[in-house]
Chain A
């Protein structure tokens, strides 16, 4: 079943797209969010978290790592819709093994972009937070949370990208995602929220990514502010794994449906629509 053409071509595509997004003007756009986040973390560095000896800055940074993994979901949804409108996807459909190669490439690009964000955040965090040391990170924990998180969020992102009909729709997707981030305990402990919002937050991967990252980065005693006073590794693995399995089952189905519907006249129509919106 291993399709070497798709893997090789996907890796090549990922390399080229990464070079594009980390050079020139796009580099600035790509650096904006991690750097803005670091600035926010810097200003929160001295604010205490009630009931612990932790500072808010140190608490927020690992949660933010989880959030950036989850934002990969938006990236992939946006790129899929944009690529459908300009014909990139149809081009892939017209090429033997093209769709598989293209999707492999997209996952490579977005995963690598997420990794680049995490690297910037970790390195920057070590610079601006005096109490934060890379040496204290439990890397194996970080690795499995990251892996499950990427699988879950990118497969779900691919589903959303396949179901949305326009890149404008994908742009609007960021609103509910921001809402979810607000109830996922990224910027403040989730235990400060009313119970039903805690329940909502825990239904989605963002909360569990944040929790998992905190468990990998913060001192062991910091779990005091978490639900049930525990890192809940088993639940984290089950929830992220569950989302990943759901995503991996559903994504190929909707992607296949999306691909089947691509044709020249469809791309032509979306071009006309874009021209009308611009003109």
Chain B
């Protein structure tokens, strides 16, 4: 591995294990993320997503395995390392009495010493408020924000130190569809604009599909799939269902995706006009995901 290559790897996890008492909640989790990538850790409740992200954030000690986050072991990360991370949780309701701008300014103050000639830290509060759409709420006490506004503030706080790596744990849990959609646009835009690497956990496939460059599916403490949304659909259940009728009789055939077009062409060449009601269904990402996790319903879910 060359130096250049390792500089580019922001997250490097190998053989991560976590055990509570006698129960393993993470077995041999391994994955990597490169600079600028948006990664979704997708899985049903109790799969170990939050445990994984808390270990990477340095909030929880692991049982075994090698973990490198921005080149350091999170269990021993110092303040300088901490300054390069941004963290967005779903359950924050802190600083309710503070005003929006006041808190952003204040927390930004912790990052001032980490500014460099090329990287301005903290981020400009006005710019940040505008980016998350809270300019009008700048002087409001935080406890009076709506749920969606509060979460957007949490994202702004996560970004205030201009992090190289942003963690988002179930960022849209409890959102209505419109708020969720708006939030997805925001995160995507910020990831692009600030070229921040992001790792988010979600149990919502649609969210992972929309936001992530790459999806890791975690089930019962194991990574069961890793790839782009398109990869996953192909890799896991890459077959198409083809249905048709001929002379009033119904037929169905499952084919490899790569062979589907050829199969349909062959069908017409052989039977011509006799073929009717042709229907070809490509396995969706959702099918792939359900196929992976359906065998394993959550057992004694751990958060």
Contact = CB atoms under 8 A, between A and B. Distances in A.
B169 interface: yes
B73 to A, nearest CB: 15
Interface centre among A12, A16, A95, A101 (most CB of B within 10 A): A95
A143 to B, nearest CB: 31
A264 B91 contact: yes
Contacts of A265: 50-51, 54, 303
B243 interface: no
B111 A96 contact: yes
A94 B98 contact: no
Contact of A86 (B79, B83, B93, B112): B93
A279 to B, nearest CB: 15
B169 A5 contact: no
A88 B94 CA distance: 5
B59 A263 contact: yes
A12 B79 contact: no
B92 interface: yes
Interface residues of A, number: 28
**Chain B interface size range:** 35 or more
Nearest to B93: A86
Interface centre among A9, A20, A101, A264 (most CB of B within 10 A): A264
A87 B83 contact: no
Contacts of B112: 5
A95 B303 contact: no
Contacts of A97: 79, 110
B102 A16 contact: yes
Interface in A1-38: 5, 8-9, 12-13, 16, 20
A87 B82 contact: no
A87 B94 contact: yes
Contact of B98 (A8, A16, A93, A264): A16
Given A9-B109, A9-B110, A12-B109, A96 B82 contact: yes
Given A96-B79, A96-B114, A97-B79, A9 B59 contact: no
A91 interface: yes
A149 to B, nearest CB: 28
B89 A101 contact: no
B97 A20 contact: yes
B94 A83 contact: yes
Interface in B88-128: 89-98, 102, 106-107, 109-114
A267 interface: yes
A98 interface: yes
Contact of A9 (B85, B106, B161): B106
A87 B93 CA distance: 6
B57 interface: yes
B66 interface: no
Contact of A87 (B80, B92, B113): B92
B136 to A, nearest CB: 21
A263 B54 contact: yes
Interface string B27-52: 00000000000000000000000110
Contact of B89 (A13, A20, A87, A88): A87
Interface of B: 50-51, 53-54, 57, 59-60, 79-80, 82-83, 85, 87, 89-98, 102, 106-107, 109-114, 157, 161, 169, 303
30 contacts: A5-B110, A5-B112, A9-B109, A12-B106, A13-B106, A83-B94, A86-B92, A86-B93, A87-B89, A87-B91, A87-B92, A87-B94, A88-B95, A90-B59, A90-B94, A91-B95, A91-B107, A94-B57, A94-B82, A96-B80, A96-B82, A96-B161, A263-B60, A264-B50, A264-B53, A264-B89, A264-B90, A265-B51, A267-B92, A268-B89
| Closest CB pairs A-B (n = 7) | A88-B94, A268-B91, A96-B83, A263-B59, A96-B79, A87-B94, A87-B92
